[in-house]
Structure 1
Amino acid sequence: MPEVYILRCGDNSLYTGIAKDADARLRAHQAGRGGRYTRARRPVALVWRCKVATWREAMQFERAIKRLPRAKKLALIAASPQGTDEAGRRRSRYLALIR
């Protein structure tokens, strides 16, 4: 199952992405093998993630999150205990936050 995730970069900016395994992708970002954006803004920390059923849903969710203003992204992160929701149980509440 793909995961949509948000990283907090070293300059306090937020980066949103999708991956099959968010933990492995986080390690790649930390090692400088991730996206160009995070490569220049290390260290990075995983602050939020949500598993979704399909890649199509993951891409749609990622696109919706990337279009949010920073304040709404922070609200999305704050709405989840410990910043992560591996089971994706609260996805409908997240979707309500971003609309």
Structure 2
Amino acid sequence: MIDLSPETAKGERDAIRKDVEALKDDVTEIKQTVDKLATSDMANRMLKLADKVQYYKHLGYCPIGMKALLKTEFDRYFAEGGNHITQELLKEVLSLPNEKI
């Protein structure tokens, strides 16, 4: 026989509310972790882009194929909200000669 008493229903509701609150806490923790990972990924990408620009500036040239790849990487970085480096870095590498002179 099923107990349909108000006390049982209240107990069930309370248990469900407790489970929902625990799930909310879990979701909040997961979101915070994902946010930290996304921020870390963005910072790593920014550093790699800056390093690549400095490398090619040091060489004094940048092959045309690499310029296209770097432009794609920069565009993606900016499209995804990156703003720790400037468009000037991209302009600098794109203005380099395509071949060693």
> By the TM > 0.5 criterion, same fold?
no
Richer in strand (by share): 1
Task: Give the TM-score of the pair, scaled to structure 2.
Answer: 0.25
Question: Which structure would you say has the larger RCO, counting Cα contacts within 8 Å and 6 or more residues apart?
Answer: 2
Higher Rg: 2
Task: Give the TM-score of the pair, scaled to structure 1.
Answer: 0.25
Richer in helix (by share): 2
